[in-house]
Amino acid sequence: MSQISGFSKLTKLEKIDWITTHYLSNYPQAKSVIKQYWNSDEALQKLHDEFTENTISNYYLPLGVAPNFEIDGKLYAIPMAIEESSVIAAASKAAKFWLDKGGFKTEILGTTKVGHVHFNFEGNPEHLKAFFNSVKSKFFSETASITKNMEKRGGGIKDIQLINKTDSLKNYYQLYCTFETVDAMGANFINSCLEQFGHTLEAEARSYQEFISEDTYPEVIMCILSNYVPECLVRAKVSCPVSALGDTKEEAERFVRKFSQAIKIAEIEPYRAVTHNKGIMNGIDAVVLATGNDFRAIEAGVHAYASRKGQYSSLTHVKVEDGNFKFWIEVPLALGTIGGLTSLHPLVKLCLAMLNHPSAEELMRLTAVAGLAQNFAAVNSLVTTGIQKGHMKMHLMNILNQFEANETERADAVEYFKTHTVTHSEVINLLKKMRA
C-alpha cells in the first residue's frame, strides 16, 4: 500500500499504472479489465471521464425497459437501469396485470423543495425576530440576479421563515427557505440562493442597532438544501373490483385478504417495512438512475418520509371498500428533466426521449408508478408462490454465466430446474455431472 501526492494531476494512464502497481499487483489482468470498459469513441469517453474525478474506466449497469404501463390514460415503456435480477421482469408483469384494469392513476400533491441557512445567535430572540422582519425583503432583492431565469420558467423562491430551534440545540436558529424549481433538479440554484441569504444575514446584522448594543451577531454555520422534501410529493394508485383479482370469488377474496395483511404488517413492523420499501426503491431508483437523477438523494428523502411519524413504515397502503381493492403509494420525489446529466449523458437523453421528454412533474408520476408496480409484484409473489421462484430463475442465469456454461448446458439446466430448487451448490453439481 502506498500514499501519493498529486494523484489528480496524473494522466489517466498514469493513474492506472499507479493503482495497478500499488493496489492490484495480485490481479494481473487488472489493466486489461480497466481498458476493456473504455468506449472506443474518444469524444464519448472524454465526456464520461469528466462526469467525476480521478476516472480510470466506466462502470456499466444494464439498461432495460419495462413496457405496457398505462399511466393516466397513456401508454409508456419505462427505462430502468439496474443490475438486480427479476426487478424489470416484475415491473413489466405488474404493468401488464393492471393494463386491462384501468391502469395506473397519479396525482401531484406538491413540488416544493427546501433549503436552510443554519446559524447561531446568542442574543435576544425578539431582537432577532424584529431584525429578520426588517430585512426579509433584502433576501429576495439580493438574489434577483440568481432567480431571474428561474422566475421566467415559473419558479423561484417561495418563502423564507425564521425558525427558533434553541429548544433542541443551544443558540441554534435557521432560515427555512422554500423553492420551486420547475423542471430543473435545482440543487445549484437553491444552494446559490442560500449562500446569498447567508451573506445578506451576516452583512445586514452588522448595522442593526440592537445587535450592536448587545455586541452579538448571527453567525452562519452552513447554507445547504435538504433532500427531505415532504412537500414535493406524488401519489400513484391502482384499483379494481376484488372479483378481478382471482379466477373464483374465493380465490380473489383470499388473495386480497393476504395481500392486505402483508401491507398492514409493513405498516407496523419496521423489520418488514425496510425490506418492503427496498423493493419499492428497486423500481424507483432504476428509473431515477436511467433518467440522470440523483438516486442517493431520492433514497435519503424517501426513507426519511417513511419515518416521519416516529416509526419507519410502509410507503404503500391498501384499502378494500364496497367490493373494490385500492392500492397506492405517496412518495417524495424531487426530480429534474433539465440540467445535470440530463443534457450530457447520451443514454439519459435517450431515456427521456423514450418517455416523450417529460416535465419534472410527469417524471415524478412515472417514477412513483414504477415503485408501486414493483411493490405490487413483490407482495403478490410473497403471498402466492413465494418470492424465490421468480428470483432464483433469474439467479440461475447468473450462476450459469459465472461458470461459463455453453448453450447446451444452459438449456439442460433450465429444463432441470423447472422441477428442482435452484441453489448455488445444486447448479455446480449439475454442471459437474454434465461435464464429467
Q: Which residues lie closer than 8 Å to 67 by C-beta, 6 or more apart?
A: 77, 78, 92, 95
pLDDT per residue of the chain (436 residues) written in tens, 0 to 9: 789 999 999 999 999 999 999 999 999 999 999 999 999 999 999 999 999 999 999 999 999 999 999 999 999 999 999 999 899 999 999 999 999 999 999 999 999 999 999 999 999 999 999 999 999 999 999 999 999 999 999 999 999 999 999 999 999 999 999 999 999 999 999 999 999 999 999 999 999 999 999 999 999 999 999 999 999 999 999 999 999 999 999 999 999 999 999 999 999 999 999 999 999 999 999 999 999 999 999 999 999 999 999 999 999 999 999 999 999 999 999 999 998 899 899 999 999 999 999 999 999 999 999 999 999 999 999 999 865 655 566 678 778 888 888 998 888 888 888 777 788 888 888 888 888 8
- Annotated catalytic residue, options 278, 303, 317, 395: 278
What CA–CA distance (Å, rounded) separates 224 from 169?
Answer: 18
Amino acid at 173: Y
Element (H, E) at 239: strand 233-241
| Active site annotation includes 345 | no
CATH architecture group of domain 63-110+232-385? Alpha-Beta Complex (3.90)
Tell me where in the chain the CATH 3.30.70.420 domain(s) lie.
Answer: 113-226
Q: Write out the three cell numbers for 121.
A: 445567535
Residue 87's contacts (CB-CB under 8 Å, 6 or more residues apart) are 80, 282, 283, 286, 374
Q: Is 148 among the residues known to form the active site?
A: no
Widest pairwise Cα distance in the chain: 91
In this prediction, residue 420 carries a pLDDT of 79
Q: Which of 183, 195, 294, 362 is catalytic?
A: 294
327 Cβ contact partners less than 8 Å away, ≥ 6 residues apart: 237, 238, 239, 263, 316, 317, 318, 372, 376
**Set 48, 118, 276, 391: catalytic member:** 391
Catalytic residue among 84, 100, 122, 159: 84
- What predicted TM-score, i.e. pTM, was given to this entire model? 0.89
Where helices occur in 291-386 by DSSP H, the ranges are: 295-306, 346-354, 360-382
Please tell me the class of the 113-226 domain.
alpha beta
Residue 82: DSSP 8-state: -
Phi, psi angle pair for 119, to nearest 5°: -150, 160
Is 426 a catalytic site residue? no
Q: What are phi and psi of 148, to 5 degrees?
A: -55, -55
Residues carrying CATH 3.90.770.10, the chain: 63-110+232-385
Query: Residues 6 or more apart from 339 whose CB is under 8 A from it?
Result: 184, 185, 188
CB proximity list for 234: less than 8 A, separation 6 or greater: 106, 107, 108, 109, 330, 331, 332, 333, 364, 365, 367, 368
Contact between 53 and 8 (Cβ < 8 Å): yes
Residue 84 among the catalytic residues? yes
